[in-house]
Amino acid sequence: MLRLVSRLIGRHNLLILQFYPYVLRYLTSHDKDKIGEVFAMIIEACHDLVPPEDIKPLIDRIIQNYVTDYCANQHITIGINAIREILQRMPLALDQAQVEYLVDFRQNKNKSVMSAAKSLINYFRDVCPHMLPKKYIGRFTELDAPREMPVYGERKINKTIEGIEYLKEGENVITERLLTDRDLKKIRVMKLREAVKKVDRHGFRSSSEEDSAEEAESDMIDEDGESEIDEESVSEK
């Protein structure tokens, strides 16, 4: 029944606030399979319209019971990954002190724990790097870049297609014609190129990255490019 309720809450963005205090009683098991099911229900029942005050007791219980130095490494890994999944649905679920406590597990000697903490750090670098301690911000994280801080209840409405400027046809192209699969693939390839340039320390790409970009471009024109070549050959004949 709890699985059904959590799935309904997540799929339809329902506000059943009594569900979250009720699930607290199940956050005591140290059986890996059972606690995995409980975490899955909690994650599925989270969405951006749930008040952060109702989720914070669950976060506190997860940290207290599963993310401490006295817990097994597998429990710490599962706990950090569950918190990260909750944050992807509810970015306001953690406070500054909890963030600093969780990211310090980056220094853990266990590889799975260290990897889980690193994934959490990467999430904060993308969403709100100001909440990270200075040593975890990263040299390539742009603190001065304009970022929209998460606000409870706010919904982002896209008025255009992200990356439409790469088509070089003006932002009104989406009102003038329908974008084809070729256009969308081109946008995706150009966005990947820009991401590579930001990551590259020296401002240029290696030969392997050049090859991967060329392969992506060749895949982009596989279907449409072959049809265009066939039409040209027919016209020449």
What tokens appear for 200 in the block?
């590259």
Kindly indicate the confidence band of residue 219, based on its pLDDT and cuts at 50, 70 and 90. low
User: Which residue has better confidence, 151 or 58?
Assistant: 58
Average pLDDT over residues 85-99: 87
Sign of CA dihedral 147, 150, 154, 160: positive
> Could you tell me which residues come within 8 angstroms of residue 222 by beta carbon, excluding any fewer than 6 positions away?
none
Predicted confidence at residue 201, as pLDDT, reads 47
> Which residue did the predictor score with more confidence, 228 or 74?
74
For the cut 80, the answer to whether the pLDDT of residue 122 exceeds it is yes
Considering only 44-48, 73-77, 178-182, 232-236, which range has the smallest mean pLDDT?
Answer: 232-236
pLDDT tens readout for residues 180-217: 788 888 878 887 887 777 655 444 444 444 455 455 55
Supply the mean pLDDT for the chain: 77
Note the maximum CA span of the chain. Answer: 78
Q: b/e for 174-198, b at 16 or more Cβ within 10 A?
A: beeeeeeeebebbbebbeeeeebee
Tens-digit pLDDT profile for residues 36-53: 889 999 999 998 888 888
Question: What is the per-residue pLDDT for 221?
Answer: 46
Nearest-angstrom CA–CA distance, 99 and 96: 5
pLDDT attached to residue 125: 83
pLDDT at 22 over 50: yes
pLDDT exceeds 50 at position 76: yes
